[in-house]
RNA sequence: GCUCCCGUAGCUCAGUGGAUAGAGCAUCUGCCUUCUAAGCAGAGGGUCGCUGGUUCGAGUCCAGCCGGGGGUACCA
């Protein structure tokens, strides 16, 4: 029996006892963890609630403590419970039978971690879209927050048994791509062949996406005739509009050039993400959404269902709009959201509604697909295309994309208004699905502290210096590039590993440094809750000490070191002793119970219980769609283990029963810690 | 104007209506002959922005105010 099952059983007991004893039906029974282990493993503050309900129904006033006393006996009857105490003003504190439970935790430990990662195919498919970086420049740390939150959420869902499809939307026909194309064509005066040659000549440390990063900022200046404070030049802006139009139309030299630029940037961005262990199932592109007429189909359905209104007069005359009454219109801002412009073209939000309908299997159209990338372990990423695949073999071997039951869009919180429109648009077309199927997984941006800007050599205005943080901007070239930061982390980690482990090979050291760097970066981005603005700080991001990924990895490495050095006889003996303790009549049961008694027993037991709560943490993290919950849990487990590790000399322990208990608790902990880190996308190195 | 988010230790942040509000960093003091100190222990540090309300119980819920940030495009 897992802790969660035991907790459910107890809850049902409380419900039944309340009903029998007081004739009161409790709806929600909250349980909590007492502040200290010596107060018990679980507490029900249910007597307070009951006192109120009894007074309401019978008018009789009963003290909570007396109520708790009456419930106590009903819970004590359970075999997994050693005793129940009434404490404080009326808390019902439950003490588990430690020896029995430890024995079953060890038995479940291997099976338990295995079932965590096994997906149950019966569940409906969840769709997660994340990353979705405009393919016109290198990824910066703000983009990486998106990807790491998205990827970790995917891992958490999978750990909770869900089936998940991962999408990375590619806006290959948008203004941002057009801008870089303007740069290549009108500033650099390059042809497609020139760009190819340039691309091949670039050094690995400054690849194509870095080149585009710089070029993109130059385009911004170009539009202002190279004066940062100057006016936008309408003649030059016309180049942008023409370029954008050509890219959208397709089948012309500008579009071919743009496709090369966008595709190369996608490749670079995927390389960056691969460094962090982030991959995708499919890359849906805007070009296919346009050319396979997704919008036309969605438009039809939205007109049929009355989701859109045609405006015959007023400011929005000639437009198709979606009413939006939660905002009040003013002189400056219209209440309704325009979906189709008066010139007949569709807005981005409109295209997004069509895409969302496809994700939910409600559009009645599908993309064509081709293979984009095969990873070294055989995993494949597909990309959309307008042409049907000729090769039927590849078509057969690819998964079915789209048609999910729930869609999670990882998009920063500044886009919550258009996301709201998308959700409502979908619900209007498909009321049977409703708004619940569309989830905007919003997160706040990563901003730069004025100090971090200074460190990057960026000059700030006096006004900016007074601000709490400065928004990153691809347009201004203002940001910390992801690869630069990963490189710095790897260099720092490598010098530590070199100092600590001269005995291992260069390749092993590089691998270890890489794992540490990824652990540091992913944990840094996950420890903040989604709605916290991260004011990026180099010192904090580059740290390997305190509440960091490497701290958690280090705890797991230490735990593994015990088992590398522990001899086989001790392992076998530990397993036997704890196994035998499952029998309530056995001598081992009494001995194990003795080890888990008292202050020292509390300390050991609290680690076992915390480790056993991984599935709870995963479930809670998934339900709240908040990876930070799991990150905090993982850190707390690592912290508890480090304390345990410091207090006990496990291998040298002479009392066989005590050693068996310590070994099994360490074993459960390292398994759970490794599983928790894995759900955060963090690996455990061999050595640190 | 309307709307969403934030305000908790010097700093950065956690905190499903429950017991004495917690971490990390920074400061100070100890601990490497140990299963590796990327670690552990200890100390100092709090009017949970303010004022009311609901509740047996409020950092958490409600209302109002004060301060900060976002959104509210026929941009994406």
pLDDT at A331: 45
DSSP character string of A454-491 = HHTT----HHHHTSS-EE-BTTTTBS-BHHHHHHHHHH
Average pLDDT, chain A: 91
Arch. (CATH architecture) of A3-96: 2-Layer Sandwich (3.30)
The pLDDT of residue A392 is: 54
* Residue A648: CB less than 7 A from any atom in strand B: yes
Q: How many CA atoms lie within 13 A of A246 on its CB side?
A: 20
Give the distance, in angstroms, between the CA of residue A513 and the centroid of all CA atoms in the same chain.
23
Residues 592-611 on chain A lying near strand B, CB distance under 7 A: none
pLDDT of residue A442: 96
Calculate the CA A451 to chain-centre distance: 28
Residue A449, number of CB atoms within 10 A of its CB: 18
Mean pLDDT, residues A34-51 taken together: 90
- Measured from the CB, is A512 under 7 Å from any atom of strand B? yes
Sign of the Cα pseudo-torsion (A483, A485, A486, A492, in order): positive
Amino acid A334: pLDDT: 56
Q: Between these two residues, A50 and A335, which has the higher pLDDT value?
A: A50
Third-level CATH fold of A549-679? Isoleucyl-tRNA Synthetase; Domain 1 (1.10.730)
| Protein CA at A502 to nucleotide C1' at B28, angstroms | 35
pLDDT band at A23 (very low <50, low <70, confident <90, very high): confident
pLDDT of residue A332: 46
Residue A329 is predicted with a pLDDT of 45
- Closest nucleotide (CA of A552 to C1')? B38
pLDDT (tens digit per residue) in A200-234: 999 999 999 999 999 999 999 999 999 888 889 99
Q: Is the CB of A474 under 7 A from strand B?
A: no
Contact A47, A22 (CB under 8 A): no
What are A616's two structure tokens? 């709870």
The answer to whether some atom of strand B lies closer than 7 Å to the beta carbon of A460 is: no
Determine contact, residues A570/A663, Cβ cutoff 8 Å.
yes
Q: Are the beta carbons of A186 and A222 closer than 8 angstroms? A: yes
Domains A3-96 and A549-679 share a fold: no
H or E segment to which residue A406 belongs: strand A406-412
- Whole-number Å distance, CA A330 to C1' B64? 25
Cα A680 from Cα A675, distance rounded (Å): 9
Q: State pLDDT tens for residues A649-666.
A: 999 998 999 999 999 999
A442-459 confidence digits (pLDDT tens)? 999 999 987 788 888 887
The predicted pLDDT at position A396 comes to 64
3-state secondary structure A318-370: CCEEECCCCCCCCCCCCCCEEEECCCCCECHHHHHHHHHHHHCCCCCCCCEEE
How do residues A389-423 score in pLDDT, each as one tens digit? 765 555 567 899 999 999 999 999 999 999 999 99
Residue A327 has φ and ψ, to the nearest 5°, of -100, 140
Q: Å from A620 (CA) to B15 (C1')?
A: 15
Whole-angstrom Cα distance, residue A215 to residue A233?
Answer: 18
Please state, in angstroms and rounded to a whole number, the distance separating the CA atoms of residues A525 and A545. 15
Residue A448 CB in 7 A reach of strand B: no
Strand partners, A481: A140
**DSSP codes joined into one string, A496-522:** HHHHH-TTS-HHHHHHHHHHHHHHHHH
Please state whether strand B lies within 7 Å of residue A643 at its CB atom: yes
Express each pLDDT in A492-540 by its tens digit: 999 999 999 998 999 999 999 999 999 999 999 999 999 999 999 999 9
- For residue A558, say whether its CB is under 7 Å from any atom of strand B: yes
Cα angle A340, A341, A347; round to 5:
60
Q: Which nucleotides of B are covered by protein (CB under 7 A)?
A: 1-6, 12-20, 22-26, 34-41, 55-57, 68-76
- CB of residue A336 closer than 7 A to nucleic acid strand B? no
Whether pLDDT at A294 is above 50: yes
- Give the model's confidence band at A169: pLDDT under 50 very low, under 70 low, under 90 confident, else very high: very high
Question: DSSP state, A36?
Answer: S
Evaluate if residue A123 carries a pLDDT over 90. no
Question: What residue spans define the domains of chain A?
Answer: 3-96, 169-279, 473-541, 549-679
Count of beta carbons in the 10 Å neighbourhood of residue A9: 15
Q: How confident is the model at residue A432 (pLDDT cuts 50, 70, 90)?
A: very high
Q: How far apart are the first and last CA of chain A?
A: 35
Residue A177 Ramachandran class (φ > 0 left, ψ -120 to 50 alpha, else beta): alpha
Rounded distance between C-alpha atoms, residue A558 and residue A114, angstroms: 22
Helix extents (H) in A506-626: 506-526, 538-541, 549-565, 568-580, 587-595, 598-612, 614-623
The residue-averaged pLDDT of A325-332 equals 47
Lowest mean pLDDT among A15-19, A106-110, A331-335, A668-672: A331-335
Written as one string, the DSSP assignment of A132-177 is ---TTS--BHHHHHHHHHHHHHHHHHHHTT-EEEEE--B-TTSHHH
Half-sphere exposure of A407 (CA within 13 A, CB side): 30
Helix (H, G, I), strand (E, B) or coil at A411: strand
- Report whether A13 contacts A78 (CB < 8 A): yes
Q: CB within 8 A of A305, min separation 6: which ones?
A: A428, A429
Distance from residue A516's CA to nucleotide B19's C1', rounded to whole Å = 40
Minimum mean pLDDT range among A50-59, A88-97, A347-356, A490-499: A50-59
**Residue of least CA–C1' distance to B72:** A333
Task: Kindly determine whether the C-beta of residue A396 is less than 7 Å away from any atom of nucleic acid strand B.
Answer: no
Average confidence (pLDDT) over A534-559 = 95
Q: What is the mean pLDDT of residues A357-386?
A: 96
Tell me what pLDDT residue A395 has.
Answer: 58
The C1' atom of B24 and the CA atom of A540 lie apart, in whole Å, by 10
Pick the range with the lowest mean pLDDT from A77-91, A266-280, A418-432, A448-462: A448-462
Contact flag, residue A35 CB and nucleic strand B, below 7 A? yes
Does nucleic acid strand B have an atom less than 7 angstroms from the CB of A218?
A: no
Residue at minimal CA–C1' distance from B6? A532
- Whether A256 and A126 have beta carbons less than 8 Å apart is answered as no
In chain A, what are the helix, strand and coil shares in percent, each to the nearest 5? 55, 10, 35
Determine the average pLDDT of the residues in A597-605.
90
Q: Assign A246 a pLDDT band (cuts: 50, 70, 90).
A: very high
State whether the beta carbon of A628 lies below 7 angstroms from any atom of strand B.
yes
Strands (DSSP E) contained in A34-168 are 42-44, 81-87, 91-96, 125-129, 163-167
Q: How confident is the model at residue A119 (pLDDT cuts 50, 70, 90)?
A: very low
Q: Are A626 and A13 in contact (CB under 8 A)?
A: no
Strand B closer than 7 A to residue A16 Cβ: no
User: Does the pLDDT of residue A355 top 50, yes or no?
Assistant: yes
Among A232-236, A330-334, A588-592, the minimum mean pLDDT is found in A330-334
Determine the 3-state secondary structure of A651 from DSSP.
coil
* A415 beta carbon to strand B: under 7 Å: yes
Does residue A62 lie within 7 Å of nucleic acid chain B, judged by its CB?
Answer: no
CA of A324 to C1' of B3 (A): 12
pLDDT greater than 50 at residue A330: no
- Give the DSSP H or E segment for A438: strand A438-443
Please name the residues in contact with A209: beta carbons below 8 A apart, sequence gap of 6 or more: A137, A138, A139, A264, A265, A268, A269, A272
Q: Please report, for chain A, how many H helices and E strands are present, in that order.
A: 27, 16
User: Tokens in use for A406?
Assistant: 């729930």
**Nearest nucleotide (C1') to alpha carbon of A413:** B70
């Amino acid at each position: 029996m897992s802790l969660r099952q035991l907790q459910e059983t107890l809850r049902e007991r409380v419900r039944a006892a309340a009903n029998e004893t007081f004739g009161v039906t409790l709806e929600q029974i909250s349980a909590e963890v007492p502040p200290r282990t010596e107060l018990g493993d679980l507490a029900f503050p249910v007597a307070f609630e009951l006192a109120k309900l009894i007074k309401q129904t019978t008018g009789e006033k009963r003290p909570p403590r007396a109520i708790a006393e009456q419930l106590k006996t009903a819970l004590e009857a359970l075999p997994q419970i050693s005793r129940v105490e009434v404490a404080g003003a009326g808390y019902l504190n439950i003490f588990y039978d430690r020896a029995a439970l430890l024995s079953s935790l060890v038995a479940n430990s291997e099976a338990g971690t295995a079932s965590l990662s096994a997906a149950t195919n019966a569940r409906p498919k969840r769709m997660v879209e994340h990353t979705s970086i405009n393919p016109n420049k290198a990824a910066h740390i703000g983009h990486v927050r998106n990807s790491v939150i998205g990827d970790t959420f995917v891992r958490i869902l999978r750990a909770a048994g869900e089936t998940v499809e991962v999408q990375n939307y590619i806006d290959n026909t948008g203004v941002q791509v057009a801008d870089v194309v303007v740069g290549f064509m009108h500033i650099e005066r390059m042809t497609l062949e020139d760009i190819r040659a340039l691309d091949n000549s670039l050094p690995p440390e400054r690849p194509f996406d870095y080149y585009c990063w710089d070029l993109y900022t130059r385009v911004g200046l170009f539009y202002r005739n190279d004066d940062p404070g100057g006016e936008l030049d309408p003649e030059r802006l016309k180049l942008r509009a023409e370029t954008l139009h050509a890219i959208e139309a397709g089948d012309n030299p500008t579009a071919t050039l743009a496709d090369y630029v966008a595709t190369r940037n996608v490749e670079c961005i995927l390389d960056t993400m691969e460094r962090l262990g982030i991959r995708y199932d499919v890359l849906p592109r805007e070009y296919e959404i346009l050319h396979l007429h997704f919008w036309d189909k969605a438009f039809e359905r939205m007109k049929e269902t009355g989701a859109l209104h045609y405006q015959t007069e007023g400011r929005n005359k000639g437009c198709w709009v979606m009413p939006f009454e939660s905002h009040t219109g003013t002189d400056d801002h219209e209440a309704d959201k325009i979906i189709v412009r008066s010139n007949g073209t569709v807005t981005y939000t409109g295209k997004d509604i069509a895409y969302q309908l496809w994700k939910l299997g409600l559009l009645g159209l599908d993309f064509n697909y081709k293979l984009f990338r095969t990873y070294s372990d055989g995993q494949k990423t597909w990309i959309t295309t307008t042409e049907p695949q000729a090769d039927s073999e590849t078509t057969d071997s690819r998964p079915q994309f789209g048609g999910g039951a729930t869609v999670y869009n990882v998009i920063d919180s500044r886009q919550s208004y258009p996301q709201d429109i998308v959700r409502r648009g979908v619900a209007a077309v498909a009321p049977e699905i409703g708004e619940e199927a569309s989830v905007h997984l919003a997160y706040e941006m990563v901003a730069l502290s004025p100090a971090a800007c200074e460190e990057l050599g960026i000059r700030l205005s006096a006004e900016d210096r007074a601000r709490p943080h400065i928004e990153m901007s691809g347009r201004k070239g203002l940001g910390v590039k992801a690869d630069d930061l990963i490189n710095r982390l790897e260099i720092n980690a490598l010098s530590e590993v070199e100092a600590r482990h001269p005995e291992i090979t260069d390749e092993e050291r590089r691998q270890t440094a890489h794992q540490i760097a990824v652990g540091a970066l992913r944990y840094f981005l996950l420890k903040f809750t989604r709605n916290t603005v991260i004011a990026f700080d180099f010192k904090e991001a580059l740290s390997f000490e305190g509440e960091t990924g490497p701290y958690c990895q280090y705890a797991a490495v230490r735990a593994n070191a015990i088992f590398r050095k522990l001899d086989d006889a001790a392992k076998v003996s530990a397993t036997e002793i704890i196994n035998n303790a499952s029998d309530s009549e056995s001598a081992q049961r009494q001995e194990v119970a003795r080890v888990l008694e008292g202050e020292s027993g509390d300390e050991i037991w609290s680690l076992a219980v915390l480790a056993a709560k991984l599935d709870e943490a995963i479930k809670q993290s998934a339900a709240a769609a908040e990876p930070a919950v799991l990150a905090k849990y993982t850190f707390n487990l690592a912290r508890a283990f480090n304390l345990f590790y410091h207090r006990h000399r496990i291998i040298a322990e002479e009392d066989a029963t005590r050693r068996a208990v310590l070994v099994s608790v360490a074993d459960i902990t390292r398994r759970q810690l490794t599983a928790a880190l894995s759900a955060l996308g963090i690996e455990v190195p061999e050595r640190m």
